[in-house]
Homo-oligomer: A and B are copies of this chain.
């Protein structure tokens, strides 16, 4: 047994980007999990500086980001853009802080660990800078990792049902406000999303690449390979935005190297860390945003053998909170690993 976080010497923790949807959840998760916080500082843009936030740690005044101040903290959680992370994360880490970055800036750097603690905690090493994966990937690999150990993964085909929280608090607000507009017969507009989101489906998340896939889709391939330690994994994704708030769903088909059955896969996933087996379809029990929202564990269900790959095919459906396992929870779990 590893010691519980609270028995360890407390750390001075900084959250940069504390006003965003992910930053706010980071504060909540640190508190809920009893992370040993000696001091918590919340950094934001100049614009937000001076605002007071109610947090489980009491009232906190937002401070304008200053690298010279932030680098003095033991642990720095970055919930900022990739550009901002690229500019500041290496400096903060070389000054001695442990920096956990939620952006994609360093995820593909072979020197930087990309960690989902349940799956590849052993890859942490001694790097001071650690990358937190893409939300869709973090949720997905909780199921893929144990299945790979048990059966070997050859091919992975994913279609996603991604919530508006992936575009931050503004994304969720646009969903709510524009849905109200549509129901009231008022004009529906869009600024966060490329098209109106109410009662619609948008098969684009992030920018398109040369190969026709979006960056979001390629992240799932690239990051799954790195986290699972399968550099040649055949994986593809279709990433789709739908009108939900903050839990991502994913429809997954895998071809395994060794034969697999639904029963054997279910037994593996029932024991998997971070997974809540949610698979009693006869009673209407399967993963859904309605239940997965606000939960740490990722729901996995609809597990069934897929004969498209003979005895080596498996289908399942996962649903996880995009702001928790998809972002803030995983970042705090990484911080716990460094204690």
Are A157 and B253 in contact (CB-based, < 8 A)?
yes
In the assembled complex, how far is the CB of residue A153 from the closest CB belonging to chain B, in whole angstroms? 12
A208 within 8 A of B: yes
Q: Complex Cα distance A279/B159, Å?
A: 18
A240 and B161 contact, CB distance less than 8 A: yes
CB distance from A169 to the nearest CB of B (A): 16
Asked whether B288 lies within 8 Å of A202 as measured between CB atoms, the reply is yes
Contacts of A243 in B (CB 8 A): 199, 242-244
CB atoms of A242 and B161 under 8 A apart: yes
Q: A212: CB under 8 A from chain B?
A: yes
| Segment 241-297 of A: residues with Cβ below 8 Å from B | 242-245, 249, 251, 253, 262, 281-282, 284, 286-290
Q: What CA separation (Å) do A289 and B204 show in the bound complex?
A: 13
Number of interface residues of A (CB under 8 A): 56
Write the chain B residue with the least CB distance to A286.
B203
CB distance from A80 to the nearest CB of B (A): 26
A183 at the interface (CB under 8 A from B): yes
Indicate whether A234 reaches chain B with its CB closer than 8 angstroms.
yes
Q: How far is the CA of A156 from the CA of B306 in the complex (A)?
A: 11
Contact A308/B155 with A161-B240, A238-B315, A262-B212 known, Cβ cut-off 8 Å: yes
Contact of B236 with A201 in the complex, beta carbons under 8 Å: no
Query: Is A302 an interface residue, CB under 8 A from the partner?
Result: yes
Q: Is the CB of A244 within 8 A of B180?
A: no
| Interface residues in A79-129 (C-beta closer than 8 Å to B) | none
Bound CA span A319–B155, Å: 26
Q: How far is the CA of A212 from the CA of B208 in the complex (A)?
A: 35
Question: Does B317 lie within 8 Å of A203, measured CB to CB?
Answer: yes
Contacts of A308 in B (CB 8 A): 155-157, 234-236
Interface status of A31 (Cβ within 8 A of chain B): no
| B211 and A304 contact, CB distance less than 8 A | yes
A236 touches B307 (CB 8 A): yes
Interface residue? A303 (CB, 8 A): yes
For residue A247, which residue of chain B has the nearest CB?
B201
Residues 299-336 of A at the B interface (beta carbon under 8 Å): 301-308, 313, 315, 317, 319
Q: When the two chains form their complex, are residues A204 and B286 in contact, meaning their CB atoms are under 8 A apart?
A: yes
Give, as a whole number of angstroms, the nearest-CB distance from A148 to chain B: 16
B residues less than 8 Å from A303 (CB atoms): 212
8 Å CB contact of A240 from B199, B236, B251, B284: B251
Q: A155-B308, A236-B307, A238-B251 are in contact. Are A245 and B199 (CB under 8 A)?
A: yes
CA distance A155 to B313 in the complex (A): 12
What 5 pairs between A and B have smallest CB-CB spacing? A212-B304, A159-B159, A159-B251, A238-B251, A234-B308
19 residue pairs A–B, Cβ–Cβ below 8 Å: A161-B201, A161-B242, A195-B284, A195-B288, A199-B244, A200-B288, A200-B289, A203-B251, A203-B286, A203-B288, A204-B286, A211-B305, A212-B315, A236-B253, A236-B306, A238-B317, A240-B249, A243-B243, A243-B244
Task: Give me 16 other A-B pairs in contact (C-beta within 8 A), A212-B304, A236-B306 excluded.
Answer: A157-B308, A161-B240, A195-B284, A196-B290, A199-B245, A200-B288, A201-B319, A203-B317, A204-B281, A212-B303, A213-B304, A236-B315, A238-B251, A238-B302, A242-B242, A243-B244
